[in-house]
Amino acid sequence: MAARRISSLLSRSLSVSSAFSLSLGKNFNRGKSIHRFSTAAAAAVEELITPTVQINYTQLLINGQFVDAASGKTFPTFDPRTGEVIANVAEGDAEDINRAVSAARKAFDEGPWPRMSPYERSRILLRFADLAEKHNDELAALETWNNGKPYEQAAKAELPLFVRLFRYYAGWADKIHGLTVQADGPHHVQILHEPIGVAGQIIPWNFPLMMFAWKVGPALACGNTIVLKTAEQTPLTALFAAKLFHEAGLPPGILNIVSGYGPTAGAALASHMDVDKIAFTGSTDTGKIVQELASKSNLKPVTLELGGKSPFIVCEDADIDQAVELAHFALFFNQGQCCCAGSRTFVHESVYDEFIEKAKARALSRTVGDPFKKGIEQGPQIDPEQFAKVLRYIRSGIESNATLECGGGRIGSKGYFVQPTVFSNVQDDMLIAKDEIFGPVQSILKYKDLDEVIRRANSTRYGLAAGVFTKNINTANTLTRALRVGTVWVNCFDVFDAAIPFGGYKMSGVGREKGIYSLNNYLQVKAVITPLKNPAWL
């Protein structure tokens, strides 16, 4: 298996090439339906040999030192496979945010990082990427232990992209150039791009390391300092990564990590007067709160990467076997805990019944179990709250008379495992078709023609992403122009690359992450005008 991607039979057949196009299953051409999430099947999966990983970093990181919270409080972080406590982590609150922001402010105003040559900043980012690559297996094991995602996914897809992202931003560090502008009068005009200052960053629990890279990489490349709040569910990998950053030579105070809860640490960071910019990834409802807190303090700019209810449109000309597999991946990847999940599967009426039968069979064959075992496609949901939320939405689907094709319950009595669930005969006004479930629940809707599916696909407050599956280039072009979303995947899904921007329309967010567009989030633009004494030389 390649070090930089997991290639599936489906992705090969569709010529999908991506650093983050994950395995879509090893039984693409199977002709039978087997309940591989059953106990017998799970027991047959071979154990992975995983590295021994120790929990060495559970304190806050402030000004280059690991320290206890000012209150002395800690909170438990859990293993979602079992619900057991992994470690107790320092619980930061407003006082700790103040300490971290003070360190970041001083490091920006007086420290070396913004004044360091961009080339030297690039070298530190590259050294960090090398260290992260060296510790690939430990970081992946820690991510799986704390988050529940399959270890193979973390180790062979997410960690290589994590490293690639930092190398990408290292490459940008010494290429952030200003401009000269030809003015109408006798003046020399320079446009400078300068770091914005202290960046407050709040990351989610579904992709802890990936979101760390999306936020920290561009901010550091541009010369900023950072206070980052981890998700309370998954604080461990960010602390490990921050330790590696200091081994790479990052000066103290540049990257500060505070673990804690949203209403305390998160709110204090968003509203802090000495924070110059906020970047948040999470739910739309929480994003509104973050934006309001930021605007009420010092009008700091805010970038938001929020929720989604992405349509996945299967056209009448589609190869049904391939479409089923891709739609399955689009929804069930990462336990369905993905903001851009293809969670509204629109299927043309001419192929609807065939699609339903094959989608059901594929869900029944999905391997669910301990994410440290080989061949496991789906681990547990992140925590009991999310687990209960998913089950509530499943009950809602049943009560609203959608047809439950398979799944619908929990697996086992320990941990937060949910059966891969498929609903057919889903209507647009049902909660399972409107709300972001964030779990392994596929809702399949029927449509008649392009005009109808465009209208229905756009009839949502979200606009993060969409998938289109068709052989017709005219159909693809029509849909990609008409869909009001930030990303459209045509005959592929969840293709992420360091250079491809990501973000949403409407209530799916503000701004873009990754690629050149992310640099704009962390730069100020300054115009400098000086007179020319001899305008004849203009």
What amino acid positions are annotated as catalytic residues? 305
Are the C-beta atoms of 320 and 287 separated by less than 8 Å? no
At 347, give phi and psi (nearest 5°). Answer: -125, 135
d(CA 289, CA 262): 10
Helix, strand, or coil here: 52?
A: coil
Token output for 24: 């879509």
d(CA 8, CA 279): 34
User: Which element (helix H / strand E) includes 509?
Assistant: strand 509-510
d(CA 79, CA 382): 8
Q: Is 528 exposed, middle or buried (0-12, 13-18, 19+ CB in 10 A)?
A: exposed
Q: How far is CA 409 from CA 104, 333, 427, in A?
A: 47, 18, 22
Token output for 290: 């973050």
d(CA 80, CA 69): 25
Alpha helices, DSSP H only, in 366-436? 384-399, 431-434
Q: Is 152 exposed, middle or buried (0-12, 13-18, 19+ CB in 10 A)?
A: buried
Closest listed residue to residue 373, CA positions, set 91, 111, 110, 44: 44
Token output for 418: 């949910």
d(CA 501, CA 515): 5
Tell me how crowded residue 134 is: count the other CB atoms within 10 A of its CB: 12
Alpha helices, DSSP H only, in 470-522? 473-482
As a 3-state breakdown, the chain gives helix, strand, coil percent values, each rounded to 5, of: 40, 20, 40
Are the C-beta atoms of 471 and 317 separated by less than 8 Å? yes
State the Rg of the chain over Cα.
Answer: 24
Helix, strand, or coil here: 54?
A: coil
Are the C-beta atoms of 303 and 279 separated by less than 8 Å? yes
